[in-house]
Structure 1
Amino acid sequence: MTKAIKPWSALFALCLGFFMVMLDMTIVNTAVPSMVRELGTELTAVIWVTSVYLLAYAVPILPAGRLGDRLGPKRVFVAGLVVFTGASLWCGLSGGVETLIAARAVQGLGAALMTPQTTAFITHLFPPDERGPALGAWGSVAGVAMITGPVLGGVLVDRFGWEWIFFANVPIGLIALALTAIHVPDWRPGNSHRFDLLGILLFGAGLFGVVFGIQSGWTYGWECAGAGVLLLGCFVLWQRVNRREPLLPLRIFRDRGFSLGAATAVLVGFAMTGTLLVLAVYLQSVLGLSPTGAGLLTAPLALMSGAVAPFAGRLSDRANPKYPLMFGLFSLCGGLCVLSLVTIPASSPPALIPGLLLCGLGVGFIFSPMGNVTLNSVERSLVGSASGIFNTARQIGGVLGGAAAGLVLQARTSASIADRANEAAAGLPPEFRQRFVSGLAADVPALPPEIAGQARELASQVTHAALTDAVKVAFSLPVGTLILGLLCAAALRRSRVEPRPIGRNGSPDRMTAAP
């Protein structure tokens, strides 16, 4: 007797694992100062703790989608969940930054194995005209997890230490494993895919080169970014000439809806990651909030996003999904503009709440309509590849967004601090001005007590003002990308709802893959 499948129970199990994946993209941001201090390393090294996870996540997603088509999404999802949970334990036990970076790379690999299986299962478990609520729940998980990362991370870091942002994944992962074994069907599309090893190597090396070049070009030069772009160009060329089964089937981009949806996913990933990084720097380094305080201040964003995402999913079934998507992009862009306007060194934290609420409204309206309009556009035989490309697009945007935001913060702070120091030095006696500008407060002990105190205060003001200038400029990056996203969404056309063919048992065959 065949066991009855409960789609929503299966989706809950899948979303629990997906929640951990998305949570770990942002939860590390609040732990960065603690890691620098307790691991005895530099900020640049700790930034790689986030970057290597995003890279290891983005690169294998495409072949992971193929692997799910070949071996079965449940088996690949469970394997990824085991790898992710074990790597989380390894992260928490790491005694040095090098070990932590290695463990995060393995964790990213586990995340890559899981993610495309969740979207593929939605197309299998739910018919096209019922996918809106399911994608709404999935989108809610993605949005809420990314936003609650700073909140949960702040509490765990303050109460237990940075290690617990990783240890917390272990019990959740074990519960997700049990629920997946019980509720998720062992569906096998039956496709025997080839694996484009050369394509994987070109894509991975090219993306690493671009990200390393952007993130570390200030120190090591920009040649690596140029080499990465060249390798990515070779990757695209190889995909065109590979007649067997390329990693990236370019014919999938002939569909207008999928191409524009994937482009929007890149831009949204760029904006989200860049925004959260910039916001974390401003709240902790300028306003002086604790990790918990900074995380709790972003809670309205998470709550608003989680509240509206299911509604956005239902709305995307009844109306053209591009309109809820456009509304979400516009709201997120508007929220960032509001945040930029109130970003000053002495800003009151409650003044940020209206902008954060508007951002949360936007996030809630973005994910499910974007997934709906993108994945419903492709033919059934390409759903596995489409889900992998869609998720890869968002993660590539996230990797580039974090690297670009870090570069702008570093460059603008360095440029602004000199100007601000010259302005502040006017308040000191002439003989001490150049010394202050050259090293800020470094020479304070050699100054008379009354001048030293004033110099320390001025140095603090200069640092906060320079960081605020950098944050304002960095906010322009996600705003610009969201405007481009609005243009892409405006050009979308409503995808046709595909018919539901009848399977062998008389029920809708929701996912029939071509051989």
Structure 2
Amino acid sequence: MVERTTTGRFPVGLRRALIAFALAQFICSFAGSNMNVMITDISADLNTTVQGVQLAITLFLLVMAALMIPGGKLTDILGRKWCLQLGLLLFGAGALLSALAPNLAVLVVGYSIFEGVGTALLIPPVYILTTLLFRGVGARARAFGAISAMGGIGAVAGPLFGGFIAYAVSWRAAFAFQALIVLLIVLLARRAVTDPLPADHGQPFDVGGAVLSAVGLILIVLGILAADDDPRLMLGLVIAGALVLTWFFATVRAKERAGREPLLPTVLFRNRASNLGLVTQNMQWLMVMGTSFVVSTYLQVVKGYNAIETGAVFTATTVGVLLSSLAAERMARRRPQRTLIIAGFAVTVAGIALLLTLGSAADGIWSMVPGLFVIGLGLGGMLTPSVNVVQSSFGEDLQGEISGLSRSISNLGSSLGAALAGTILVAGVDSTHPNRAYLWAMLAVAAAGLVGLTAAWFLPRTRPTTDAPRV
């Protein structure tokens, strides 16, 4: 529970906990996007292909999406701080293994598996503890604003930081950087992070539900990845994934009727605001990762720019995300969250249009800066209210489940962004019309923005909050 000092600020320990949470979200988002500017360096060093590195990136995002729901449930059983620490340990070990990887297989184990599993364990506690410690929509808007800002910055600045490190030292040093940040988080969280609720070690864990939900999500994303090779295989995998997820929901209802504890209670899907908020989260992160992957790959593989040049152009997106995210509390007090999400999608789609228009009118890399800046403004302005809409829709007893579901939906969006837009782009990179492939890939990202805009339009109309404390 939030306590304030006489100056209206949060206690020092709580401020340090918020820094740890924000850094945790930053490094996980950074890990998902910094590889994009190192594709050519990694493929050359490990004697693999662009598609091989893309597979490692997508598998990392996929592992997060598939295991986030079980990870959220485990926080209630094992304890939120314990899962946070275990996740950090696995993530750090994966970063070190990736830094020393002699081939693609070891990179996949360290990056895609260890870091993916670590993220699935550490991210749900970040959002659960933030919801429990910061009471009121306004206070959470401030806290989630900081966390979402660092998450957005990690995603869009990953190409910049990763490109600089890869250019100045080596792509391997980028993974060493991740390990150092994890060590810093561990030191901060050790004393500052407290868990206000005891772990329920006697609570059963739905192993069957965890397997079904993971398999269903994996099949769907693998289907999208197969679109370039065999459209029939793609359709078969997507249908199989949908059937498995249907089976999963059927088992959830059966277990509830029998009085047993399912992985996810069906009450999570009966809240209109939360359901629409989850759709907006999915589309937002699809746009974040889709834009990052497509633009980075296009500049390196088609235009021939190096990692530092590619990373530098994303400074514009980073600045845009930072500016709008830092204004999250002020905007939450003046405007309904629905309005902020709608505006965010509209601005982001407009940024994509500006990116394609100016980019086609001029050949220089810097012609992309205005569009990328506007995209950053739109993304940063809607990440926080979407999280707040979903997390605030349920009480303390369901924070573990909704946090896991929320992060799973968001990371599924990231996976789909890298897989869908990446598949469209990579399919045309080696053709005689690579610019056309880039155009279609970005149009697919813009279409996702229109889907998110439509979902946001139907969110309940609520008044802006005025109870946000100053940090």
Question: Which TM-score applies when normalising by structure 2?
Answer: 0.90
Residues 253 and 5 (structure 1), Cα distance of their counterparts in 2 relative to 1, 3 Å cut: farther
Query: Which one of the candidate residues 228, 250, 262 is aligned to 1:237?
Result: 250
Alignment of 1:250 onto 2:217: no
Q: CA deviation at 1:311?
A: 1.0
C-alpha offsets along residues 361-409 of structure 1, whole Å, 9 cap, x if unaligned? 1111011111112211123311121111111111011111211112212
Post-superposition shift, 1:345?
9.1
Question: Cα 1:345–1:236, aligned 2, differ >3 Å: closer, same or farther?
Answer: farther
Q: Deviations over 1:240-260 (max 9, x none)?
A: 222222222221121111010
Instruction: Look up the equivalent residue of 2:83 and give its one-letter code.
Output: V
- Give the distance between the partners of 1:168 and 1:411, measured in 2 at CA: 32
Note if 1:74 corresponds to 2:78. no
CA distance in 2, matches of 1:495, 1:60: 33
Is 1:364–2:380 an aligned residue pair?
yes
Alignment partners' CA distance in 1, 2:162 and 2:62: 21
- Check conservation: 1:65, 1:116, Cα contact below 8 A: yes
1:485 partner letter: G
Report the CA distance shift for 1:124/1:317 in structure 2 as closer, same or farther (over 3 A): farther
The structure, 1 or 2, with the larger RCO (C-alpha pairs under 8 Å, 6+ apart) is 2
1:213 matched to 2:223? The reply is yes
SS at match of 2:245: helix
Give the aligned residue type for 2:248: F
Residue from 70, 89, 112 that aligns with 2:120: 112
Tell me how far apart the structure 2 counterparts of residues 410 and 140 of structure 1 sit (CA, whole Å): 30
Structure whose CA Rg is larger: 1
User: 2:288 aligns to what?
Assistant: 272
Distance 1:214 1:124 in 2: 37
User: Structure 1 residues 93 and 411, CA, compared in 2 at 3 Å: closer, same or farther?
Assistant: closer
1:198-347 → structure 2 map (5 Å cutoff): 198-219=208-229, 221-222=233-234, 223-243=236-256, 244-344=260-360, 347=363
Q: Indicate the residue corresponding to 1:145 in structure 2.
A: 154
Provide the C-alpha distance between the structure 1 equivalents of 2:310 and 2:382, rounded to a whole number of angstroms.
24
- Residue 487 in structure 1 maps to residue 441 in structure 2: no
The aligned runs of 1:493-512 (5 Å cut-off) are: 493-494=460-461
Percent identical residues: 28
**Is residue 164 from structure 1 mapped to residue 173 from structure 2 by the alignment?**
yes
Corresponding position of 1:468: 435
Structure 1 unaligned segments of length 5 or more: list them: 418-461, 501-515
For residues 137-194 of structure 1, give each alpha carbon's deviation from its aligned partner in whole angstroms, at most 9, with x where no partner exists.
1111111110000001111111212111211112211111111012111433444532
Letter in 2 for 1:408: I
State the Cα distance separating 1:299 from its structure 2 match. Answer: 0.1
Tell me whether 283-292 or 187-196 shows the greater mean CA deviation.
Answer: 187-196
Matched with 2:163 is: 154
Which runs of structure 2 are paired with 1:180-191 in the superposition (5 Å)?
Answer: 180-191=189-200
The 2-side partners of 1:41 and 1:268 are apart by 31
Deviation, 1:313, is 3.1
2-structure distance, mates of 1:38, 1:227: 36
The yes-or-no answer on 1:195 pairing with 2:183 is no
1:142 & 1:193 partners in 2: Cα distance? 31
Closer, same or farther: CA 346–282 of 1 in aligned 2, 3 Å: farther
Q: Deviations over 1:67-124 (max 9, x none)?
A: 2122321111011111111110011111110111111211110011111111111112
Q: Secondary structure at the match of 2:27?
A: helix
CA distance in 1, matches of 2:174, 2:225: 24
Change (3 A) 1:6 1:497: farther
Tell me how far 1:16 sits from its aligned partner: 1.5
Structure 2 residues not aligned, in runs of 5+: 4-10
Amino acid at match of 2:183: L
What is the Cα-based RMSD across aligned positions, in Å? Answer: 2.1
Q: Confirm or deny: 8 A CA contact 1:343 1:468 kept in the other structure.
A: no
8 Å contact 1:80–1:113 — kept in the other structure?
A: yes
Contact 1:54/1:108 (<8 A) preserved:
yes
CA contact (8 A) 2:274 2:389 kept: yes
CA deviation map 1:406-455 (0-9, x unaligned):
221244456xx4xxxxxxxxxxxxxxxxxxxxxxxxxxxxxxxxxxxxxx
Which of 390, 406, 416 is matched with 1:390 structurally?
406
Distance 1:472 1:239, change over 3 A: same
Letter in structure 1 aligned against 2:290: G
Mapped contact 1:88–1:166 kept (Cα < 8 A): yes
Count of aligned pairs between the two proteins? 448
CA distance in 1, matches of 2:243, 2:178: 38
Which residue pairs with 1:446 in the alignment?
Answer: none
Who is 1:41 aligned against?
A: 48
- Using the TM superposition, give the Cα deviation of residue 494 of structure 1 relative to its aligned residue in structure 2, in angstroms: 4.6
**1:464-491: per-residue Cα shift (whole Å, max 9, x none)?**
xx11111111111111111111111111
2:368 pairs with 1:355:
no
Q: Which whole-Å CA distance do the structure 1 matches of 2:28 and 2:453 have between them?
A: 27
Matches of 1:373 and 1:494, distance apart in 2 = 11
How far the C-alpha of 1:219 sits from its partner, in A, is 2.8
Over 3 Å counting, the alpha-carbon distance change for 1:19 and 1:249 in structure 2 is same
Partner of 2:184: 175
Query: SS of the counterpart of 1:268?
Result: helix
CA contact (8 A) 2:338 2:462 kept: no
